[in-house]
Amino acid sequence: MKIADLARSTLLPWPEEVSPDEVRQATSRLVSYVSGRVDADGAIREECESRVLESALALSLMTRTGAQSPARNRLLTFLRGHQEFPNRLDRVLASLSVGRETAGDAELVGRLTAGVLGSAPGFISARRRMMVYAVLSVLGCPLPADAELPGGGEVPTDPLHSWAAVQEASITLILATATGVSNKATEAALDTLLATDPATTVWEGYVLMHLLVLHALASVPGHEETVRRGLETLLRHQRADGGFPFVLELHNWCTATGGLALCAAGAEPELLRRMAGMLTAHQGGAPLRSLSRGATLTGGWSISPVVAQNDVDDTSCALEFLQAIDPVAHGAAMRRGLDALLAAQGADGGFPTYVAGASSEPCMTAAAVCALAPHPFTAPARERALAFLADSQLADGGFEPGWSRSRLHTLFRARLAASTAGPDDLRTAAMTERIERTVRETQNADGGWGMQPGDPSDDISTAYGLIALCYGDDPQPVGRALSWLLTQQKADGSFGGPPDMVGPRPFSYHFPLLTDIPVLLALGHVRSRVLDPSAAPQEVR
């Protein structure tokens, strides 16, 4: 989204709290760091770090199949090292997997389930509850009394994207085995799982789903060889620390978001053109079998070239980036992406993450509005989407949880979406005022923001808050945020702190560069929206 033309007269004066030169130097160091992670073909290929959830499931699978290898010893070392971690969920999963927790502690299961559901959107709560039960079941916990098959045991027909469909099928078989149920739903679930070809591939690069599929099949007689071969396939992706990641790659997402941030911060045009070329080369998703129940975003983008399931988020970011680099040269690709995006819009005006007909989400809707904004023919769709956003805003100014642990994530994207509204859109103006108020009121005394109000400041949330306030009218909180953020920069130009991305919601996962990219994007918005007394205004696209 091109934002340089947005009320040039409303540029913020430079805040007294921080030196313009210091910000320019920090931005330059971070541009160099992120640029150095772009491969020759324009892709950013960051590696997902190991996570306790997948590692615990992997150890459980090795135990139930009797697998013994050096890989198991490395995995045990990884999990034992997480038994005293601050994150309670990680501690419990690690301890359950190596046998230190009491598997029958009903209170423990209840607390974990309540914590997971409290951090997830309401519309996925029933499915997420059953997933928690399935995970705990394969780790040795008895099922709670309210455990039931997804969909009440009926063959499902509701709109669902591929990943959720395979997750649902896995949970169905795991819970069916634990409760002694066999019916048409379990037969359909088995067919879905076998369609992922778990013996030879980690389907869609989704390690968590591969593990759930193998655990489900391990309970079905006649599939022992598939499980054995599937475990061998999994072990090829064990990380150096002994653990296993959530997914294998997010190349499209890292490239699109990294490209947007680099463009905003003034990176080299040739580098940006290579990144745009990489994205156009991988439009449409991988040529793999999709297991979605519902219309997918044909012509959009997926998280990575190995993934067939396209989504609104990747499509929106890719479209924004291509628009910023060369809308003429990439016109055909952009039109296909725009058509895919518009086809996903719901009757309520909002956008889902994956398939048409699924629940609309505020964060995805804000992303879509920003991607559609440069294109006049999308005005009716944008007006409906902004109305959905305004209707979705909570009393405290925030929104329902999205794909980030940070409350600021949807807030900053909604604020950018609101910037595209016309001057007579009073509902969007009221939403904007509430966004800015809650962002200002939740800023910590040190100048940063935490994932949730009252949490310690972290780099990602502070970047999100900084972007939102670049569109306000007060430079002072912007200066405080910049001052805090610059103290966090490392010697190599990068940033750190806890990860915010979640999948499946609300389980967090970590690609280290996805901390640097939001910070770089924030510095790019400062470059455009805050008047540097020694430099001409720049454009952020």
Residues β-bridged to residue 244: 51
| Residues in CB range of 180: below 8 A, 6 or more apart | none
Which pair of structure tokens corresponds to residue 137? 């079941």
Q: Report CA torsion sign: 393, 399, 402, 406.
A: positive
For residues 465 and 485, what is the distance between their CA atoms, to the nearest angstrom?
A: 11
Contact 299, 337 (CB under 8 A): yes
In single-letter form, the type of residue at position 191 comes to D
Contact 276, 42 (CB under 8 A): yes
Contact 493, 32 (CB under 8 A): yes
Segment holding 51, helix H or strand E: strand 50-51
For residues 518 and 409, what is the distance between their CA atoms, to the nearest angstrom?
A: 10
Residues β-bridged to residue 531: 13
DSSP 8-state assignment for residue 6: S
State the distance between the two ends of the chain, measured CA to CA, in whole angstroms: 5
Quick check: is 313 catalytic? yes
Which pair of structure tokens corresponds to residue 186? 């379990």
User: DSSP per residue over 209-239, as a string?
Assistant: HHHHHHHHHHTSTT-HHHHHHHHHHHHTT--
**Of these residues, 90, 311, 313, 459, which one is catalytic?**
313
Contact 352, 360 (CB under 8 A): yes
User: DSSP per residue over 432-498, as a string?
Assistant: HHHHHHHHHHT--TTS---SSTTSPP-HHHHHHHHHHHTTSS-HHHHHHHHHHHHHT--TTS-----
Instruction: Cite the active site residues.
Output: 313
